[in-house]
Amino acid sequence: MRIANKTLLDDFVQSHAQSAGPLNKWVEKVKGAKWTSHADLKQILQFKKEGLIWKRN
């Protein structure tokens, strides 16, 4: 996956400092991802009421 606007993410982190750790972790996970379908994405993610949770492998 390609992150289209890293500057936008960096600006968000500057306004919401508590998001830096989780957002940076997300960026590292998705940068190298080679998803080709929604099913690929669903294999590694869980959606919970609180939001998006990475499945532990």
In Å, how far are 35, 36, 43, 45 from 40, measured between CA atoms?
A: 6, 7, 5, 9
Between 37 and 1, the higher pLDDT residue: 37
Whole-number pLDDT of residue 18: 92
Q: Note the pLDDT of residue 12.
A: 92
Cα Rg of the chain, angstroms: 13
End-to-end, the C-alpha distance of the chain in Å comes to 20
Residue 11 pLDDT grade (very low, low, confident, very high; cuts 50, 70, 90): very high
pLDDT band (50, 70, 90) for residue 32? confident
